[in-house]
């Protein structure tokens, strides 16, 4: 019977090493440290920039099969959850591992709604931002600031504290997000209305004006709630890696979520939906798509909303977003930018440049046109990603805290710099020749 192991011969010494292949098809990198040429040799390391082929943890939360285009939260297919569930139930599933019964759902909903308010000082803190501050930058700052209101949150090994901070963050991030939006519009903040659903309350805090009894449009409320479900978790993406890495220092979860939010802000990650709209507006019309595609293929432009580190097939979330877009347009009217998206997709899915690189639409490709039709400014798009992802980040963080194998994250490096040099007094120094991040005629 075939053995579940690798046999490696170190040709430097002729020694053979047998490495067990563990569950999930992994080999522990630590085994390579045993491969030495002498007793005092450090041994070998594995080298994997951006961790493209390195598992950092074992997780039970989200499963992705990138080749088959499969996404499941705790074993439930995303398509089923998007059709039959709601975001708050999915947040419970991601955090607790099971779908709730009536009693547990009611308690969970009540627990989250108990924490939708924020300390009044947060309003003063937020007023310090410029009038045109990017809401995602404000969110990073205000989530980080929350850590100063809950100093007891650094008791990260205490289960009750973890549970309380999880409820607080899932409850408060929409409020901070809505306050950031109102700040950019110069509008008074709207306090939470806990008589509304989780997503309905968020829409109320965003869009309520002088009406006494704000009721969100039910089609838009459901559309946004499904979009929240689609964005709730996605295994070890860049921002979740930041959450786990920063959290591994045993800092409080508010500081770790602030770091994860900062990672999500980047245009290659959660900022891609904003970048997609800017790209579509730049293209301007479906007739300009062929020329844009040419510029992508020369490397001059990137087709934002396309490609994925894991999905080498159509992102299953993108299919659902595309359907939701048209449900929203039924209420808001067609966002004509989608015609450019459809033409980009049509051409890209036939063009060998994209097919050979397995580049397909990802979750961000159609969200922008949908959010824009719902009345959100582009700068709010990454914020709409951060809100639901908070439940995923908190679940992944708690899993890391509980994992006996996890320690403080501290990767190694391959040193390629100067070996050793002797300091010289400034008077005797020559013109520096090789400087990094420098321009020859500038200091
Ligand atoms: C999210 O990880 C997650 O799970 C993230 C996420 C989540 O839910 O958390 O799914 C959310 O972040 C989705 C991704 C949103 N980002 C974008 O849409 C930005 C555009 N896409 C890319 O920049 C890119 O595809 C990444 C960043 C998403 C993935 O990059 P990889 O895996 O590092 O791939 P790569 O850059 O090595 O690309 C491989 C090749 C390269 O060409 P060659 O050097 O081989 O010639 O494909 C090309 C790239 O140039 N390529 C693209 C492209 N994406 C990759 N070419 C044009 N347009 C693109 N979008």
Start-end of H helices in 7-68 = none
Q: 434 pLDDT exceeds 80?
A: no
pLDDT at residue 154 in the model = 94
CATH top class, domain 66-418: mainly alpha
pLDDT given at position 212: 86
The average pLDDT across 109-136 equals 96
The least confident of 155-169, 261-275, 277-291, 424-438 is 424-438
**Is the C-beta atom of 68 inside 6 A of ligand 1?**
no
Q: Cβ(303) to ligand 1 under 6 A?
A: yes
Each residue of 44-76: pLDDT tens digit? 999 999 999 999 999 999 999 999 999 999 999
Residue pair 188/288 in contact (Cβ under 8 Å)? The answer is no
CA dihedral 375, 379, 384, 387 (to 10 degrees): -140
Residue 322 Cβ inside 6 Å of ligand 1? The answer reads no
DSSP 4: S
Q: Which residue has the higher pLDDT, 3 or 181?
A: 181
CA 122 – CA 103 distance, rounded (Å): 33
pLDDT(435) > 90: no
- Residue with CA at minimum distance from ligand 1 atom 50: 299
In the chain, pLDDT over 70 holds for what percent of residues? 100
What is the structure's pLDDT at 430?
86
- pTM given for the model: 0.95
Quick one: pLDDT at residue 331?
Answer: 97
The average pLDDT across 309-334 equals 95
Distance CA 346, CA 354 (A): 11
Is 234 designated active site?
A: no
If DSSP codes are grouped into helix, strand and coil, which group holds residue 327? helix
Residue 308 known to be catalytic: yes
Told to judge if 231 belongs to the known catalytic residues of this protein, a careful annotator would answer no
| Nearest ligand 1 atom, CA 296 | 57
Q: What is the pLDDT of residues 369-420, one digit of tens each?
A: 999 999 999 999 999 999 999 999 999 999 999 999 999 999 999 999 999 9
Find out whether the beta carbon of 237 lies less than 6 Å from any atom of ligand 1: yes
Overall average pLDDT of the 253-259 stretch: 98
pLDDT band at 428 (very low <50, low <70, confident <90, very high): confident
Q: Ligand 1, from 274, 307, 320: best to mutate by most atoms within 8 Å of Cβ?
A: 307
Ligand 1 atom with minimal separation from the 235 CA: 4
**For residues 176 and 252, what is the distance between their CA atoms, to the nearest angstrom?**
18
- For the stretch 150-177, pLDDT in tens is 999 999 999 999 999 999 999 999 999 9
- CA dist 129 and 149 (Å) reads 19
CB of 364 closer than 8 Å to CB of 276: yes
- Which residues, other chains included, contact 345 with Cβ-Cβ below 8 Å and sequence gap of 6+? 361, 365
**Which tens digits make up the pLDDT trace of 211-246?**
988 999 999 999 999 999 999 999 999 999 999 999
Residues 6+ apart with CB under 8 A from 268: 238
Whose Cα sits closest to atom 35 in ligand 1? 309
- The sign one gets for the Cα dihedral 44, 50, 51, 57 is positive
Q: Is the CB of 301 under 6 A from ligand 1?
A: no
Residue 308 has pLDDT above 90, yes or no: yes
Average pLDDT, the chain: 95
Locate the domains of the chain by residue range.
5-46, 66-418
pLDDT tens-digit map of 195-217: 999 999 999 999 999 998 899 99
């Amino acid at each position: 019977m075939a053995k579940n192991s690798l046999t490696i011969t170190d040709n430097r010494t002729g020694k053979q090493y047998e490495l067990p292949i563990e569950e999930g098809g992994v080999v522990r990198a630590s085994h390579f440290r045993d491969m030495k040429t002498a007793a005092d040799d450090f041994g070998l390391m594995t080298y994997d920039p951006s961790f493209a082929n390195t598992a950092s943890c074992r997780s039970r939360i989200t499963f992705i099969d990138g080749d088959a285009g499969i996404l499941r939260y705790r074993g439930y297919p995303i398509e089923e959850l998007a059709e039959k569930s709601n975001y708050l139930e999915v947040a419970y599933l991601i955090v607790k591992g099971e779908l709730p019964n009536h009693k547990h759902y009611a308690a969970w909903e009540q627990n989250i709604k108990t924490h939708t308010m924020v300390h009044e000082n947060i309003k003063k803190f937020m007023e310090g931002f410029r009038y045109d501050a990017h809401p995602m930058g404000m969110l990073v700052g205000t989530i980080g600031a929350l850590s100063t209101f809950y100093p007891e949150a650094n008791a990260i090994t205490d289960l009750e504290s973890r549970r309380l901070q999880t409820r607080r963050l899932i409850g408060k991030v929409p409020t901070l997000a809505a306050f950031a939006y109102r700040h950019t519009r110069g509008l008074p903040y709207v306090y939470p209305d806990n008589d509304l659903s989780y997503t309905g309350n968020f829409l109320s805090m965003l869009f309520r004006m002088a009406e006494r009894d704000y009721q969100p449009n039910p089609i838009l409320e459901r559309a946004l709630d499904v979009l929240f479900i689609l964005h709730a978790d996605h295994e070890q993406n860049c921002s979740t890696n930041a959450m786990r890495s920063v959290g591994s220092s045993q800092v409080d979860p508010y500081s770790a979520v602030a770091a994860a939010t900062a990672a999500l802000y980047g245009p290659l990650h959660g900022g891609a939906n904003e970048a997609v709209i800017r790209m579509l507006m730049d293209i301007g019309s479906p007739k300009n798509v062929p020329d844009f595609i040419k510029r992508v293929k020369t490397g001059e432009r990137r087709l934002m909303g396309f490609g994925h580190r894991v999905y080498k097939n159509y992102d299953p979330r993108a299919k659902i977003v595309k359907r939701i877009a048209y449900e929203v347009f039924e209420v808001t009217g067609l966002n004509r930018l989608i015609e450019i998206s459809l033409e980009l997709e049509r051409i890209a899915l036939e063009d060998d440049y994209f097919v050979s690189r397995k580049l397909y639409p990802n979750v961000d490709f159609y969200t922008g046109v949908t959010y824009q039709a719902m009345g959100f400014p582009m700068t709010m798009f990454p914020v709409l990603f951060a809100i639901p992802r908070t439940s995923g980040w908190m679940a992944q963080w708690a899993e890391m805290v509980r994992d006996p194998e996890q320690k403080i994250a501290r990767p190694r490096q391959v040193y390629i710099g100067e070996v050793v040099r002797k300091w010289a007094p400034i008077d005797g120094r020559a013109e520096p020749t090789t400087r990094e991040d420098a321009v020859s005629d500038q200091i």
